[in-house]
Chains A and B, each alone.
Chain A
Amino acid sequence: MAETTQLELVTPARIMAQQAVEMVVAPGVEGLFGVLPRHAPLLADLTRGVVELHQNGKVTDRYMIDGGLADVSGESVTILAERAIHLGSADAAQLKTKVADASDEEADFLNAAIAAL
Protein backbone atom coordinates (compact mmCIF):
# COMPACT_ATOMS: atom_id res chain seq x y z
CA MET A 1 0.00 0.00 0.00
CA ALA A 2 1.16 3.43 -0.86
CA GLU A 3 2.19 5.96 1.73
CA THR A 4 -0.74 7.78 3.27
CA THR A 5 -1.47 10.93 5.17
CA GLN A 6 -3.94 11.11 8.05
CA LEU A 7 -6.88 13.34 7.21
CA GLU A 8 -9.16 14.85 9.81
CA LEU A 9 -12.11 17.00 8.87
CA VAL A 10 -13.55 18.68 11.94
CA THR A 11 -16.54 20.98 12.30
CA PRO A 12 -17.73 22.64 15.51
CA ALA A 13 -20.46 20.02 15.67
CA ARG A 14 -18.41 16.88 15.16
CA ILE A 15 -15.52 15.10 13.50
CA MET A 16 -16.74 14.54 9.96
CA ALA A 17 -13.96 12.36 8.68
CA GLN A 18 -10.92 10.71 10.10
CA GLN A 19 -9.02 8.41 7.80
CA ALA A 20 -5.78 7.70 6.02
CA VAL A 21 -5.70 8.87 2.43
CA GLU A 22 -3.15 9.15 -0.33
CA MET A 23 -3.95 12.66 -1.32
CA VAL A 24 -6.25 15.43 -0.21
CA VAL A 25 -7.28 18.25 -2.50
CA ALA A 26 -8.49 21.32 -0.65
CA PRO A 27 -9.90 24.65 -1.84
CA GLY A 28 -7.37 27.25 -0.66
CA VAL A 29 -8.18 30.92 -0.99
CA GLU A 30 -5.43 31.15 -3.56
CA GLY A 31 -6.59 28.12 -5.49
CA LEU A 32 -6.96 24.39 -5.13
CA PHE A 33 -4.03 22.56 -3.66
CA GLY A 34 -3.26 18.90 -3.22
CA VAL A 35 -1.57 17.48 -0.17
CA LEU A 36 0.48 14.31 -0.42
CA PRO A 37 2.27 12.54 2.43
CA ARG A 38 5.36 14.35 3.72
CA HIS A 39 4.02 17.70 2.61
CA ALA A 40 5.83 20.70 4.07
CA PRO A 41 4.03 22.21 7.09
CA LEU A 42 1.41 24.60 5.80
CA LEU A 43 -1.31 26.67 7.33
CA ALA A 44 -3.83 27.62 4.71
CA ASP A 45 -7.04 29.56 4.70
CA LEU A 46 -9.76 27.73 2.81
CA THR A 47 -12.63 29.06 0.84
CA ARG A 48 -16.00 27.50 0.04
CA GLY A 49 -15.43 24.45 -2.09
CA VAL A 50 -14.98 20.74 -2.27
CA VAL A 51 -12.43 18.71 -0.36
CA GLU A 52 -11.50 15.58 -2.29
CA LEU A 53 -10.03 12.45 -0.78
CA HIS A 54 -7.94 10.36 -3.13
CA GLN A 55 -7.15 6.71 -2.75
CA ASN A 56 -5.37 4.56 -5.32
CA GLY A 57 -5.37 7.41 -7.78
CA LYS A 58 -9.15 7.83 -7.63
CA VAL A 59 -11.45 10.18 -5.77
CA THR A 60 -13.03 8.14 -2.99
CA ASP A 61 -14.93 10.77 -1.06
CA ARG A 62 -15.95 14.39 -1.34
CA TYR A 63 -16.94 16.96 1.26
CA MET A 64 -18.36 20.41 0.68
CA ILE A 65 -16.94 22.92 3.13
CA ASP A 66 -17.80 26.53 3.77
CA GLY A 67 -14.35 27.92 4.21
CA GLY A 68 -12.06 26.98 7.02
CA LEU A 69 -8.50 26.29 7.88
CA ALA A 70 -6.12 23.56 6.82
CA ASP A 71 -3.29 22.64 9.12
CA VAL A 72 -0.91 20.47 7.15
CA SER A 73 2.06 18.70 8.63
CA GLY A 74 4.21 15.91 7.26
CA GLU A 75 1.97 13.13 8.43
CA SER A 76 -1.45 14.69 8.84
CA VAL A 77 -3.92 17.15 7.41
CA THR A 78 -6.41 18.75 9.75
CA ILE A 79 -9.20 20.72 8.15
CA LEU A 80 -11.25 22.91 10.44
CA ALA A 81 -14.45 24.00 8.75
CA GLU A 82 -17.41 25.82 10.22
CA ARG A 83 -19.80 23.90 8.03
CA ALA A 84 -19.32 20.75 6.05
CA ILE A 85 -21.51 18.32 4.13
CA HIS A 86 -20.55 14.83 3.10
CA LEU A 87 -21.39 14.81 -0.59
CA GLY A 88 -21.20 11.03 -0.79
CA SER A 89 -24.18 10.55 1.49
CA ALA A 90 -26.17 13.71 0.79
CA ASP A 91 -28.97 13.82 -1.70
CA ALA A 92 -30.27 16.85 -3.50
CA ALA A 93 -33.90 16.55 -2.49
CA GLN A 94 -33.00 16.32 1.17
CA LEU A 95 -30.70 19.33 0.97
CA LYS A 96 -33.38 21.31 -0.83
CA THR A 97 -35.80 20.82 2.04
CA LYS A 98 -33.11 22.14 4.37
CA VAL A 99 -32.60 25.22 2.21
CA ALA A 100 -36.19 26.25 2.86
CA ASP A 101 -35.74 26.76 6.60
CA ALA A 102 -32.10 27.79 6.69
CA SER A 103 -30.72 31.27 7.17
CA ASP A 104 -29.60 33.12 4.02
CA GLU A 105 -25.96 32.35 4.57
CA GLU A 106 -26.60 28.69 5.17
CA ALA A 107 -29.01 28.42 2.27
CA ASP A 108 -26.28 29.83 0.06
CA PHE A 109 -23.92 27.14 1.20
CA LEU A 110 -26.50 24.38 0.79
CA ASN A 111 -27.24 25.53 -2.75
CA ALA A 112 -23.55 25.43 -3.54
CA ALA A 113 -23.44 21.90 -2.16
CA ILE A 114 -26.38 20.87 -4.32
CA ALA A 115 -24.62 22.28 -7.34
CA ALA A 116 -21.49 20.29 -6.49
CA LEU A 117 -23.32 16.97 -6.15
Chain B
Amino acid sequence: MASLKDLKTRINSVKSTQKITAAMKMVAAAKLRRAQDAAESGRPYSTRMRQVIGNLASKADAASAPQLLVGNGKDKTHLLVVMSADRGLCGGFNGTVTRQTRAEVTRLRAENKNVKLLMVGRKSADALRREFGDLYIDRYEGLQGTSVNYSDAAKIADAIRTGFEAGEFDVCTLIFNKFKNAITQEITLTQLIPAEVDNSEAGDGDAAAVSYEYEPEEDELLASLLPRNLSTQIYGALLESSAAELAARMTAMDNATRNAGELIDRLTLVYNRTRQANITSELIEIISGAEAI
Protein backbone atom coordinates (compact mmCIF):
# COMPACT_ATOMS: atom_id res chain seq x y z
CA MET B 1 0.00 0.00 0.00
CA ALA B 2 1.18 3.49 -0.85
CA SER B 3 2.52 5.53 2.02
CA LEU B 4 0.59 8.43 3.44
CA LYS B 5 3.01 10.89 1.97
CA ASP B 6 2.62 9.45 -1.52
CA LEU B 7 -1.14 9.62 -1.24
CA LYS B 8 -1.01 13.20 -0.05
CA THR B 9 1.14 14.16 -3.03
CA ARG B 10 -1.24 12.48 -5.45
CA ILE B 11 -4.26 14.14 -3.94
CA ASN B 12 -2.57 17.51 -4.22
CA SER B 13 -1.57 16.96 -7.81
CA VAL B 14 -5.09 15.87 -8.79
CA LYS B 15 -6.41 18.93 -6.99
CA SER B 16 -4.26 21.28 -8.99
CA THR B 17 -5.22 19.49 -12.20
CA GLN B 18 -8.83 19.99 -11.21
CA LYS B 19 -8.21 23.68 -10.70
CA ILE B 20 -6.71 23.96 -14.17
CA THR B 21 -9.53 22.09 -15.88
CA ALA B 22 -12.13 24.10 -13.98
CA ALA B 23 -10.44 27.32 -15.08
CA MET B 24 -10.25 26.12 -18.69
CA LYS B 25 -13.91 25.28 -18.56
CA MET B 26 -14.76 28.76 -17.33
CA VAL B 27 -12.63 30.39 -20.01
CA ALA B 28 -14.17 28.24 -22.74
CA ALA B 29 -17.66 28.99 -21.46
CA ALA B 30 -17.03 32.71 -21.45
CA LYS B 31 -15.57 32.67 -24.94
CA LEU B 32 -18.23 30.30 -26.19
CA ARG B 33 -20.90 32.88 -25.58
CA ARG B 34 -19.32 35.30 -28.00
CA ALA B 35 -18.38 32.66 -30.54
CA GLN B 36 -21.85 31.19 -30.44
CA ASP B 37 -23.38 34.60 -31.02
CA ALA B 38 -21.05 35.18 -33.92
CA ALA B 39 -21.78 31.77 -35.44
CA GLU B 40 -25.51 32.09 -35.07
CA SER B 41 -25.74 35.61 -36.34
CA GLY B 42 -23.51 34.70 -39.26
CA ARG B 43 -25.85 31.95 -40.34
CA PRO B 44 -28.52 34.02 -42.10
CA TYR B 45 -25.93 35.51 -44.40
CA SER B 46 -24.41 32.25 -45.52
CA THR B 47 -27.78 30.50 -45.75
CA ARG B 48 -29.20 33.22 -47.95
CA MET B 49 -26.09 33.25 -50.06
CA ARG B 50 -26.31 29.49 -50.46
CA GLN B 51 -29.95 29.75 -51.44
CA VAL B 52 -29.22 32.30 -54.12
CA ILE B 53 -26.30 30.29 -55.46
CA GLY B 54 -28.20 27.00 -55.29
CA ASN B 55 -31.01 28.64 -57.14
CA LEU B 56 -28.67 29.91 -59.84
CA ALA B 57 -26.90 26.58 -60.08
CA SER B 58 -30.13 24.68 -60.59
CA LYS B 59 -30.98 26.86 -63.57
CA ALA B 60 -27.51 27.29 -64.93
CA ASP B 61 -26.61 25.85 -68.26
CA ALA B 62 -23.63 23.56 -67.83
CA ALA B 63 -21.92 24.68 -71.00
CA SER B 64 -21.99 28.44 -70.56
CA ALA B 65 -22.11 28.96 -66.81
CA PRO B 66 -18.90 29.75 -64.92
CA GLN B 67 -16.99 26.69 -63.80
CA LEU B 68 -17.00 27.79 -60.18
CA LEU B 69 -20.74 27.27 -60.23
CA VAL B 70 -21.22 24.10 -62.23
CA GLY B 71 -17.76 22.55 -62.05
CA ASN B 72 -15.44 21.83 -64.92
CA GLY B 73 -17.21 18.63 -65.87
CA LYS B 74 -14.50 16.42 -64.41
CA ASP B 75 -14.50 14.51 -61.18
CA LYS B 76 -10.95 13.27 -61.00
CA THR B 77 -9.12 15.28 -58.39
CA HIS B 78 -10.76 16.19 -55.12
CA LEU B 79 -9.63 18.89 -52.75
CA LEU B 80 -10.68 18.49 -49.15
CA VAL B 81 -10.54 21.58 -46.99
CA VAL B 82 -10.20 20.28 -43.45
CA MET B 83 -10.98 22.53 -40.52
CA SER B 84 -9.78 21.50 -37.08
CA ALA B 85 -8.72 23.40 -33.99
CA ASP B 86 -5.28 24.80 -33.30
CA ARG B 87 -5.37 23.55 -29.76
CA GLY B 88 -6.18 20.27 -28.12
CA LEU B 89 -7.98 19.45 -24.90
CA CYS B 90 -11.37 19.72 -26.50
CA GLY B 91 -12.62 16.15 -26.31
CA GLY B 92 -13.39 14.40 -29.55
CA PHE B 93 -13.44 17.60 -31.57
CA ASN B 94 -10.23 17.15 -33.53
CA GLY B 95 -10.54 13.38 -33.52
CA THR B 96 -13.84 13.54 -35.34
CA VAL B 97 -12.45 15.77 -38.05
CA THR B 98 -9.38 13.60 -38.42
CA ARG B 99 -11.40 10.41 -38.59
CA GLN B 100 -13.84 11.84 -41.11
CA THR B 101 -11.00 13.09 -43.28
CA ARG B 102 -9.28 9.72 -43.20
CA ALA B 103 -12.53 7.97 -44.15
CA GLU B 104 -13.15 10.43 -46.95
CA VAL B 105 -9.65 10.11 -48.37
CA THR B 106 -9.90 6.32 -48.25
CA ARG B 107 -13.29 6.38 -49.92
CA LEU B 108 -12.14 8.67 -52.72
CA ARG B 109 -9.01 6.63 -53.27
CA ALA B 110 -11.09 3.48 -53.51
CA GLU B 111 -12.99 5.21 -56.29
CA ASN B 112 -9.70 5.89 -58.01
CA LYS B 113 -9.77 9.62 -57.45
CA ASN B 114 -6.84 11.84 -56.67
CA VAL B 115 -7.04 13.64 -53.37
CA LYS B 116 -5.44 16.84 -52.17
CA LEU B 117 -5.76 18.36 -48.74
CA LEU B 118 -5.86 21.93 -47.53
CA MET B 119 -5.51 21.97 -43.79
CA VAL B 120 -6.91 24.74 -41.62
CA GLY B 121 -5.99 24.39 -37.97
CA ARG B 122 -2.98 22.68 -36.50
CA LYS B 123 -4.36 19.58 -34.83
CA SER B 124 -5.69 17.51 -37.70
CA ALA B 125 -2.85 18.66 -39.89
CA ASP B 126 -0.40 17.24 -37.37
CA ALA B 127 -2.41 14.08 -36.83
CA LEU B 128 -2.61 13.24 -40.52
CA ARG B 129 0.82 14.40 -41.56
CA ARG B 130 2.40 10.99 -41.41
CA GLU B 131 -0.32 9.32 -43.49
CA PHE B 132 -1.23 12.00 -45.96
CA GLY B 133 1.48 14.64 -45.60
CA ASP B 134 2.33 14.41 -49.29
CA LEU B 135 -1.23 15.39 -50.18
CA TYR B 136 -1.11 18.70 -48.34
CA ILE B 137 -1.14 21.67 -50.63
CA ASP B 138 -1.21 24.24 -47.86
CA ARG B 139 -1.68 24.72 -44.13
CA TYR B 140 -3.26 27.58 -42.26
CA GLU B 141 -3.05 28.17 -38.54
CA GLY B 142 -4.23 30.67 -36.02
CA LEU B 143 -7.37 31.70 -37.86
CA GLN B 144 -9.80 30.44 -35.32
CA GLY B 145 -10.65 31.43 -31.80
CA THR B 146 -12.62 34.39 -30.67
CA SER B 147 -11.63 36.70 -33.48
CA VAL B 148 -12.51 35.06 -36.76
CA ASN B 149 -11.69 37.41 -39.54
CA TYR B 150 -13.51 37.76 -42.82
CA SER B 151 -10.32 38.67 -44.65
CA ASP B 152 -8.68 35.43 -43.46
CA ALA B 153 -11.59 33.53 -44.96
CA ALA B 154 -11.20 35.51 -48.16
CA LYS B 155 -7.53 34.56 -48.27
CA ILE B 156 -8.33 30.85 -48.11
CA ALA B 157 -11.11 31.30 -50.64
CA ASP B 158 -8.71 33.05 -52.99
CA ALA B 159 -6.21 30.24 -52.68
CA ILE B 160 -8.94 27.71 -53.47
CA ARG B 161 -10.20 29.68 -56.43
CA THR B 162 -6.73 30.16 -57.89
CA GLY B 163 -6.05 26.46 -57.51
CA PHE B 164 -9.31 25.58 -59.17
CA GLU B 165 -8.73 27.94 -62.05
CA ALA B 166 -5.27 26.51 -62.54
CA GLY B 167 -6.89 23.10 -62.84
CA GLU B 168 -5.26 21.65 -59.76
CA PHE B 169 -8.50 20.01 -58.69
CA ASP B 170 -12.03 19.49 -59.95
CA VAL B 171 -14.17 19.18 -56.84
CA CYS B 172 -13.75 20.99 -53.55
CA THR B 173 -15.32 19.83 -50.31
CA LEU B 174 -15.18 21.41 -46.89
CA ILE B 175 -15.01 19.27 -43.74
CA PHE B 176 -15.74 21.01 -40.45
CA ASN B 177 -17.54 20.71 -37.14
CA LYS B 178 -20.82 22.52 -37.17
CA PHE B 179 -21.96 24.04 -33.92
CA LYS B 180 -25.31 22.55 -33.00
CA ASN B 181 -25.58 23.41 -29.33
CA ALA B 182 -23.27 23.62 -26.36
CA ILE B 183 -23.00 19.85 -26.06
CA THR B 184 -23.19 18.59 -29.63
CA GLN B 185 -21.15 19.29 -32.67
CA GLU B 186 -21.99 17.85 -36.00
CA ILE B 187 -19.35 16.90 -38.49
CA THR B 188 -20.39 18.41 -41.79
CA LEU B 189 -19.26 18.03 -45.36
CA THR B 190 -20.12 20.86 -47.69
CA GLN B 191 -19.31 20.82 -51.34
CA LEU B 192 -17.97 24.20 -52.40
CA ILE B 193 -17.11 23.60 -56.04
CA PRO B 194 -19.25 22.92 -57.99
CA ALA B 195 -21.90 24.69 -55.96
CA GLU B 196 -24.34 22.37 -54.31
CA VAL B 197 -27.80 22.57 -55.78
CA ASP B 198 -30.10 22.84 -52.85
CA ASN B 199 -33.03 20.64 -53.77
CA SER B 200 -34.70 20.88 -50.41
CA GLU B 201 -35.34 24.58 -50.89
CA ALA B 202 -36.60 24.29 -54.41
CA GLY B 203 -39.93 22.77 -53.55
CA ASP B 204 -41.13 25.01 -50.79
CA GLY B 205 -41.71 28.26 -52.57
CA ASP B 206 -42.16 30.01 -55.82
CA ALA B 207 -38.69 31.52 -55.45
CA ALA B 208 -37.17 28.62 -57.34
CA ALA B 209 -39.65 28.79 -60.13
CA VAL B 210 -39.36 32.47 -61.01
CA SER B 211 -36.86 33.62 -63.53
CA TYR B 212 -34.68 36.44 -62.38
CA GLU B 213 -33.65 39.59 -64.08
CA TYR B 214 -29.99 40.31 -63.66
CA GLU B 215 -28.14 43.52 -63.22
CA PRO B 216 -25.51 43.58 -64.61
CA GLU B 217 -25.64 40.67 -67.05
CA GLU B 218 -25.81 37.18 -65.60
CA ASP B 219 -22.25 36.12 -66.31
CA GLU B 220 -20.82 39.37 -65.02
CA LEU B 221 -22.88 39.11 -61.88
CA LEU B 222 -21.87 35.51 -61.34
CA ALA B 223 -18.23 36.38 -61.81
CA SER B 224 -18.35 38.74 -58.86
CA LEU B 225 -20.79 36.70 -56.82
CA LEU B 226 -19.15 33.28 -56.89
CA PRO B 227 -15.82 34.23 -55.32
CA ARG B 228 -17.76 36.11 -52.67
CA ASN B 229 -19.88 33.05 -52.02
CA LEU B 230 -16.74 30.98 -51.53
CA SER B 231 -15.37 33.37 -48.91
CA THR B 232 -18.74 33.51 -47.22
CA GLN B 233 -19.03 29.74 -46.93
CA ILE B 234 -15.52 29.49 -45.53
CA TYR B 235 -16.09 32.34 -43.13
CA GLY B 236 -19.30 30.71 -41.94
CA ALA B 237 -17.50 27.41 -41.46
CA LEU B 238 -14.71 29.12 -39.50
CA LEU B 239 -17.26 30.69 -37.19
CA GLU B 240 -19.10 27.43 -36.71
CA SER B 241 -15.91 25.52 -36.13
CA SER B 242 -14.63 28.02 -33.56
CA ALA B 243 -17.87 27.94 -31.63
CA ALA B 244 -17.97 24.14 -31.81
CA GLU B 245 -14.38 23.94 -30.57
CA LEU B 246 -15.12 26.06 -27.53
CA ALA B 247 -18.27 24.11 -26.81
CA ALA B 248 -16.36 20.85 -27.08
CA ARG B 249 -13.64 22.17 -24.81
CA MET B 250 -16.17 23.33 -22.28
CA THR B 251 -17.84 19.91 -22.14
CA ALA B 252 -14.53 18.07 -22.06
CA MET B 253 -13.18 20.25 -19.27
CA ASP B 254 -16.40 19.91 -17.33
CA ASN B 255 -16.07 16.14 -17.51
CA ALA B 256 -12.42 16.35 -16.55
CA THR B 257 -13.24 18.49 -13.55
CA ARG B 258 -15.88 16.03 -12.46
CA ASN B 259 -13.56 13.05 -12.94
CA ALA B 260 -10.87 14.79 -10.93
CA GLY B 261 -13.41 15.37 -8.17
CA GLU B 262 -14.28 11.68 -8.10
CA LEU B 263 -10.62 10.73 -8.07
CA ILE B 264 -9.95 13.08 -5.18
CA ASP B 265 -12.83 11.54 -3.22
CA ARG B 266 -11.50 8.05 -3.81
CA LEU B 267 -7.96 8.97 -2.93
CA THR B 268 -9.06 10.78 0.21
CA LEU B 269 -10.90 7.65 1.29
CA VAL B 270 -7.82 5.53 0.77
CA TYR B 271 -5.74 8.15 2.57
CA ASN B 272 -8.02 8.14 5.58
CA ARG B 273 -8.16 4.36 5.72
CA THR B 274 -4.40 4.14 5.55
CA ARG B 275 -4.08 6.71 8.29
CA GLN B 276 -6.49 4.71 10.48
CA ALA B 277 -4.62 1.51 9.79
CA ASN B 278 -1.37 3.17 10.75
CA ILE B 279 -2.79 4.47 14.01
CA THR B 280 -4.30 1.09 14.82
CA SER B 281 -1.05 -0.74 14.23
CA GLU B 282 0.85 1.81 16.32
CA LEU B 283 -1.64 1.31 19.13
CA ILE B 284 -1.26 -2.44 18.93
CA GLU B 285 2.49 -2.04 19.12
CA ILE B 286 2.24 0.15 22.21
CA ILE B 287 -0.29 -2.09 23.94
CA SER B 288 1.56 -5.31 23.27
CA GLY B 289 4.76 -3.59 24.34
CA ALA B 290 3.12 -2.57 27.64
CA GLU B 291 1.75 -6.08 28.18
CA ALA B 292 5.16 -7.63 27.69
CA ILE B 293 6.65 -5.75 30.60
A80 touches B41 (CB 8 A): no
Contact A30 B41 (CB under 8 A): no
In angstroms, Cα B174 to Cα A22, docked, is 40
- CA A50 – CA B56 in complex, angstroms? 27
Q: Residue B150 contacts which of A10, A44, A45, A82 (CB distance < 8 angstroms)?
A: A82
Assign chain B's interface to a size class: 20 to 34
Chain B, interface SS category: helix
Identify the closest chain A residue to B37 (Cβ): A14
B residues 221-246 with Cβ under 8 Å of A?
221, 224-225, 228, 232, 235-236
Q: Is A40 a contact of B213 with CB atoms below 8 Å?
A: yes
Residues 33-44 of B, flagged 1 when their CB comes within 8 A of A and 0 if not, give 000001001101
Please state if B212 and A43 are interface contacts (CB–CB under 8 Å).
yes
| Chain B residue at smallest Cβ distance from A78 | B48
Closest-by-CB residue of A relative to B236 is A12
Can you list 26 A-B contacts with CB-CB less than 8 angstroms, sorted by A residue number?
A8-B48, A10-B44, A10-B45, A10-B48, A11-B45, A12-B45, A12-B46, A12-B150, A12-B232, A15-B44, A29-B216, A33-B215, A40-B213, A41-B213, A43-B52, A43-B212, A43-B214, A44-B214, A44-B215, A45-B215, A45-B216, A69-B225, A78-B48, A80-B45, A80-B48, A103-B151
In addition to A15-B41, A29-B216, A78-B48, 6 A-B residue pairs with Cβ atoms within 8 Å of each other are A14-B42, A42-B214, A43-B212, A43-B215, A71-B48, A80-B49
Which residues of B are at the interface with A, using a C-beta cutoff of 8 A?
38, 41-42, 44-46, 48-49, 52, 56, 150-151, 207, 210-216, 220-221, 224-225, 228, 232, 235-236
